[in-house]
Amino acid sequence: MPKYDELMALQNLGQKYAYTDREVMRYAVGIGMGADPMDEKELAYVNEAAFSPRPLKVVPTFASVAAWGANPGEMNLNRLMVVDGERDITFHKQLPVAANITADSTVLGCWDKGKDKGAVIRHKTVLKDDKGEELATLVASRFARGDGGFGGPSEGQPEPHKVPTRAPDRSVDISTRPDQALVYRLCGDRNPLHSDPDFAKRAGFPRPILHGMCTYGLTCRGVLQTYADYDPAAFKQHAVRFSSPVYPGETVTMDLWKDGNVVSFEAKVKERGVTVIKSGRTVLA
């Protein structure tokens, strides 16, 4: 792993990507939309070929895979030990169904937890359309469990969003399929942690785990169906902290609180009594 000053100087501008409606629908299926073949509201995200033609909708968090692989530069992290920490996307415009886009990636901060305690790396990617107009700003943090001791600061990370202490205003259950990770990996993230039992065991898990970014998409679904009336244009920001992995086949329960145009949420897996998402925050239009 590079030294602190070298990490902070990393940037990668003008990365070129393109996607079509195929990738848009693949992502929606990857986060479980369309599981009910009679649910017209979800079918609008996975099927444009209706008897009565309708425009295909784009899940807001598709932005997380629209430029899959965009990054500030090589950090030489121990891949076996890297997990998602946080994800925060600000939506500047509604994503088109197909587009040629560019991605500008820079490092926002790096925190050194100690040689045996890992590191947190926070970076930003701005997606732009072919006219140079901003579509979305993605801020991600990764917890590199095997890469501490590089000389960075140990404190100063942004404070997490605090969810209300009152009882949830609404709760929803979102099911995942046993093969959910195998479907979602087709969106770009082919890390064997999500598909190879032996690799998962080497990383300290009893079996492959669901992608954190798939769980992120599940929480977008939860807000879409409760407070956004399945309107992707309603989303201005969607942010989470990952606190524990989901195993494919489990049911994720989201607790949601709405205060004005801000929806706070957390998510858990009841079967194991584990909270998997903390400090969730969606800003609606």
pLDDT at 146: 75
**If we measure between CA atoms, which residue out of 47, 99, 95, 137 comes closest to residue 232?**
95
Q: How far does CA 189 lie from the centroid of its chain?
A: 11
- The confidence band for 143, taking pLDDT boundaries of 50, 70 and 90, is confident
CA distance 126 to 13: 9
The 3-class secondary structure across 59-103, one letter per residue, is CHHHHHHHCCCCCCCCCCCCHHHEEEEEEEEEECCCCCCCEEEEE
- Poorest-confidence range of 104-118, 139-153, 188-202, 217-231? 139-153
Give the mean pLDDT of 191-198.
Answer: 95
- Poorest-confidence range of 87-101, 107-121, 156-170, 185-199? 107-121
pLDDT at 13: 97
Does residue 54 or residue 97 have the better pLDDT? 97
Residue 50 has pLDDT above 80, yes or no: no
Q: Which residues of 4-22 are buried (b: 16+ CB within 10 A; e: fewer)?
A: beebbebebeebebebeee
3-state secondary structure of 202: helix
Give the mean pLDDT of 51-74.
Answer: 93
pLDDT at 145: 74
Give the mean pLDDT of 10-27.
Answer: 97
Q: Which CATH number fits domain 4-284: 3.40.50.300, 1.10.3720.10, 3.40.1350.10, 3.10.129.10?
A: 3.10.129.10
Per the CB < 8 A criterion, the answer to whether 137 and 95 are in contact is no
Mean of the per-residue pLDDT values for the chain? 94
- Poorest-confidence range of 158-162, 164-168, 219-223? 158-162
- The confidence band for 1, taking pLDDT boundaries of 50, 70 and 90, is low
Residue 62 has pLDDT above 90, yes or no: yes
- The confidence band for 132, taking pLDDT boundaries of 50, 70 and 90, is very high
pLDDT at 284: 98
**If we measure between CA atoms, which residue out of 217, 206, 196 comes closest to residue 282?**
217
Q: Which residues are catalytic?
A: 189, 194
CA distance 220 to 58: 12
Q: Residues of the chain with pLDDT > 70: what percent?
A: 99
Q: How far does CA 155 lie from the centroid of its chain?
A: 24
pLDDT at 151: 76
Q: Measured between alpha carbons, how far is residue 200 from residues 117, 177, 195 in Å?
A: 20, 18, 8
Pinpoint the alpha helices (H) of the chain. Answer: 4-9, 21-30, 40-46, 63-66, 180-184, 197-202, 212-226
Give the mean pLDDT of 144-156.
Answer: 78
With a threshold of 0.95, does the pTM exceed it?
no
Most confident region among 115-124, 143-152, 237-246 by mean pLDDT: 237-246
CA distance 27 to 214: 9
Residue 215 has pLDDT above 70, yes or no: yes
Residue type, 279: S
